[in-house]
Each structure stands twice: as C-alpha cells, then as structure tokens.
Structure 1
Amino acid sequence: MSSNELGDFLRSRRAQVSPEEAGVRTYGVRKVAGLRREEVAFLAGLSADYYTRLEQGRERNPSAQVLDALSRALGLDADQEMHLYRLARLVPASRGGGREPVSPMLLQLMDTYASTPAFVLNRTLDILATNRLAEALFSSFTDTDNLVRMVFTDPAGPEFFTEWHRAAQSTVASLRLAVGHDPDDARLTRLVDEVSAASPAFRRYWEQGHVRGKTAEAKELLHPDVGALSLIFQAFDVRDKPGQQLVIYQAEPGSPSDHALKLLGSLSATKYRDREDADFTFPDRS
C-alpha cells in the first residue's frame, strides 16, 4: 500500500469530479482529468500551496475545518467523508475487525436461516463464518476464506459474479474503508500486495480510490447447480464485535431465484445427510 494514503485519496477524488459538476468555468484545453489542484484549493478556500502539500504528503495534519471544506469541494458522500477523516487521523484508529471468532449466538441465529444464505465478514473481507446455504452458494470456489480473493484470483469468480466488473469495484471500495480504520494493519497490507501482484484488474480498481461501505445491493449470480440467481444483499454491523458484518442474501418471494435458492437448500441438505451417513459407524454388538 501507499505511504501517502491521504494524498492519494484526495488526488483520486479530484480526478473524479468534472469542472461542470463543481461549477468551475474552464478555458482552453485541459491536460488533467477532473479538477486541477488550484481549483480544488479555490473551492475549499485554501491556498494552492497548502493543498499541493496535502496531496504530496508534505502536510499530514489538516484540521477538521480543512477536511470539511475539502469534503464539500469534492462532493464526498458520508462514507468518503468519514474515510477522509480517518486517513487524517482525526478519528481514532479502530483495532477491531481482525480474524476474531464469531459469537456462538450469532452462529446459532445464522443456522436458523434455512432458505437464506448468511455469512460474516470482517473489514479485510475475510469470511469468518457461513451458514449451510451460504456454504452451498459458494461451493464452486476453490477457497472461501476471503471475498477479495474469491472475486479477483479464484477461477470461479468471473463466472459466478455475472456482473463481474460491478462486483469487483464494489469489493475494492469496501476493502479501501479498512485503510482508514487501521492504516498500519499488516494483514490488510499483505492482502493488498498479494492480490495486486496476482490481478492487474485489482490494481486498477485500487488505484481509483473509491470507498463505499456495504449496505444493500442487488447481485446477479450464476450457480453451477441451480443456475441464475437475482438476489438482494443487506449488511448489518455486529455491535459486540466492531468490524464484523452479517451479510444476508435474499430473493424476491415466489420468484425463480427464490425457487432456485430453495432447490439449493434441498441439495445442500441431501449432501449433508449423505456426508453424515458416510461418517456414521455402526456400533460393535459382538
């Protein structure tokens, strides 16, 4: 990862805002995408020199007032603004969200969702736990330990995620939020370096600097056993385990995807019973 995440984020956001969106008049040929540094400085009420030092990493301690002004100038949404504050160290770094165990009560609750895939993620998108239907949903993947690897380095990813580019961008945007929570997280650094080396697509999305937390979103998936699935996922913060999120996939009741999920659940239950029967040993009655 970069040693100047704050500057990189400002630069990436500046490149995404057109002069028209910011209400800036332009003259002649522009050589940069988005806004120029001096235009952002003007919109935020800062000197061009000060803003340049922020982007270059020579100034690393902006005030809350400066961040507020930059948020308005760049049109940041709530996730992006909070990410900016975390990168500037004006929000205490959060050390939660590692590979902490999922609470037994939450595991028990997930097991009651017989027709709903459910799994738990941490901030680096490690999959910490799945219920039986989520395990069946992800059965085509070589490994299901981390969502980033599943999307970018597992051969099943591009086929399973029908709208792969959308899923890829969303995954990277979620992972980038982890940088603000703990920029010094060695686990995060290793993951970014590993997937960057393996996937040019990941590198491109990472360099774009988008940040967005998981809330609710439509997913188009293709499962090898039951076919196409149009699902909606919702993510919920686990209050007693900061950094963990419970993600639940749902289908429209009565839809083909709903029937496909039910079929997948039935197939999974059959495989589970067969596995139990294979492991069962009759007692010795001699």
Structure 2
Amino acid sequence: MSDNELGTYLRTWREAVTPAEAGLPTGPRRRTPGLRRAELATLAGISVEYLTRLEQGRDRNPSAQVLGALADALNLSLGDRILLRRLTKEADGGDPLLCAAAPTLSRTARPTVRAVLDRLEPAPAVVVNWIGDVLAHTAGYDRLVGPIGLLDDERPNLLRYLFTDERARTAYRDWDKVADDLVARLRHGVPLRDPYLAQLADELTVTAGAEFADRFADLTTTPRRTGSQHLEHPEAGSLRLLHETLALPDEGQRLIVHLPADDATAAALDRLDGRRPGALRAVEDTG
C-alpha cells in the first residue's frame, strides 16, 4: 500500500463525490466528475493549500475539527469516518485502534427487520452483517440466488461464495466489479482490527490469494450504496439487476434490495415468482 494512505483516501473520496451530491452546480468544462480541491476546501472551511498538503502527504496530522469538516463535506458514513481517523493516527505514528470495541457480531436479524422483509416480497432482498453473512432473506431472494449456490452453506457469506465458489464466476458476468464492491464495503465499513474481519480476511487471503488480498489492500476503491449486477440465472436466463443498500447501523447490518433494471429482467423475475407478467416494473438506472 502507499505510504500516503490518508492523502489517497481524501483524494479518492473527493473525486468520487459529484458537485450535485455536495449541493454545488455542475458547471461546464469539468475534467473529472468529482469535486475540485477548491470546492472541497470551501465546503470544509479550510484553505486549498492546506488540503493540497494533506492529499500530497506533506501534512499528516490534521486536527479533529478539520477531519470532521472534511467528513461532513464528503458526507462520509460512520464507518468511513472511523477509517479516516485510523489513517490519520497511523500517519502520525499513533495507535490505530481509536474506536471503541466493535459490537458483538450479529448472527440474526431483529423481528422488525424480518417484518420489513415480509413486506418486500416477492422482491429479492437480503439482510447481511458487516462481514457479509446472510442473516435473513425473502423467498424472492432464495429464488434468485438459490439456483446459483449462494445459499448452499450452513452459514452463507457473500464474500466467501464470491471468492471460493466457482459457480460465482459463471453466475456473475461482471464478477470483477461485484468483487471490487464487496471487498470495498468490507474494507471500509469495519474497524480494521475487528477480530471477525481479520478472521474472514485471513481465510480469503489463503483460499482466494491475490484476487482478494490485492483488493483488500487497495484504499482507492470505495463502496457504493447503489449499483448494478449482470446475473446469468440457470432458470431465468440473463438478468440485469440494480441494488439499493439500506444501513442498519445499530446492529452493524445492511438490507440489500435487488430490482429489475430492464423490462426483460422484470418479466423473468415475474416468471420465477409465479406472478403475472407486468407485476414488477423495471427501475431506470440513473447512476
């Protein structure tokens, strides 16, 4: 990894946040879709020169106030703020374990969360914990991923399936993109010394080698709340899916809902669910 992880992290997030997401006009002649240094500096209330020093690694000890202002300007999640603080301390030679001990790893979904899943039927929806264990899901999700083997294990895990089951590479036409996103979520969403994270990371480094380890070491890839997947289903054929992720931070869980990205996928999911054609509607991908 780079010896300037803090600067890389700040620059990566700055380039990932669009002006519209930051409440700024897009304007003409932008070379990149992200924020300019001057825009982020203004939003955070710091000088462009100081932000440049941070990104280039010439200043590695910003105050808590500066970090908070940058995190607010970039709209970072709690997990991303924890990682930002960790990188700052490591750059300064301090103790990286700034956060409190991680909560007990959740192995079940709350009854109210399961009730939400019931209301989402027959849409494919799943609840996972912070390391990707499948805790609960709709029958629609079972019909979607059951035939590709994702739920075969006694304790299914999204990352373990993706990196160790050969069926995943056949099922996911965009396997590399799915792998990038899942590992980025694992890498950025949990304190790095969390024991459950370390155990899973060690396991996948041994079983999957560089394909997992290189992604896990890469700070430049950040997780997305929304995204798309191209799934080859053994019964329904080629499916193009969008997904929306809703965080359940108190439990360290997230709810992922899959939606059809085109009319053909909507019709195929209707057939899987035994519903009349047209019951599901495609959702336009505006990302």
Q: TM-score range by the shorter chain?
A: 0.5 to 0.7
Looking at structure 2, the residues matched to 233 and 114 of structure 1 have their Cα atoms a distance apart, in angstroms, of: 15
Question: 1:86/1:129 Cα in 2 relative to 1: closer, same or farther (>3 Å)?
Answer: farther
Looking at structure 2, the residues matched to 228 and 170 of structure 1 have their Cα atoms a distance apart, in angstroms, of: 21
Partner of 1:205: 215
Check conservation: 1:176, 1:211, Cα contact below 8 A: no
Cα displacement string for residues 26-52 of structure 1 (whole angstroms, at most 9, x for unaligned residues): xxxxxxxxxxxxxx999226997x75x
Larger radius of gyration: 1
- Normalising to structure 2: TM-score of the pair? 0.65
Indicate yes or no: 2:106 matched with 1:99. yes
5 Å-filtered alignment, 1:26-45, equals 43-44=52-53
Partner of 2:41: none
Indicate yes or no: 2:265 matched with 1:257. yes
Question: 1:145/1:214 Cα in 2 relative to 1: closer, same or farther (>3 Å)?
Answer: farther
- Find the partner of 2:139 among 132, 153, 161: 132
Give the unaligned 5+ runs of structure 1: 24-39, 55-60, 268-286
Cα displacement string for residues 77-114 of structure 1 (whole angstroms, at most 9, x for unaligned residues): 73596231255469744623722421122213313333
Partner of 2:173: 162
CA RMSD between the two structures: 3.9
Check conservation: 1:123, 1:178, Cα contact below 8 A: yes
Check conservation: 2:7, 2:54, Cα contact below 8 A: no
- Find the partner of 1:115 among 106, 109, 122: 122
Question: Match of 1:78, as an amino acid?
Answer: L
Report percent identity of matched pairs. 25
Question: Match of 1:264, as an amino acid?
Answer: L
Question: 1:209/1:263 Cα in 2 relative to 1: closer, same or farther (>3 Å)?
Answer: same
Looking at structure 1, the residues matched to 66 and 245 of structure 2 have their Cα atoms a distance apart, in angstroms, of: 32
Question: 1:62/1:6 Cα in 2 relative to 1: closer, same or farther (>3 Å)?
Answer: farther
- Find the partner of 1:9 among 5, 10, 30: 5
Give the unaligned 5+ runs of structure 2: 16-30, 38-48, 90-95, 276-287
Compute the displacement of 1:145 (Å): 1.5
Compute the displacement of 1:67 (Å): 4.4
Partner of 1:64: 64
Looking at structure 2, the residues matched to 247 and 81 of structure 1 have their Cα atoms a distance apart, in angstroms, of: 19
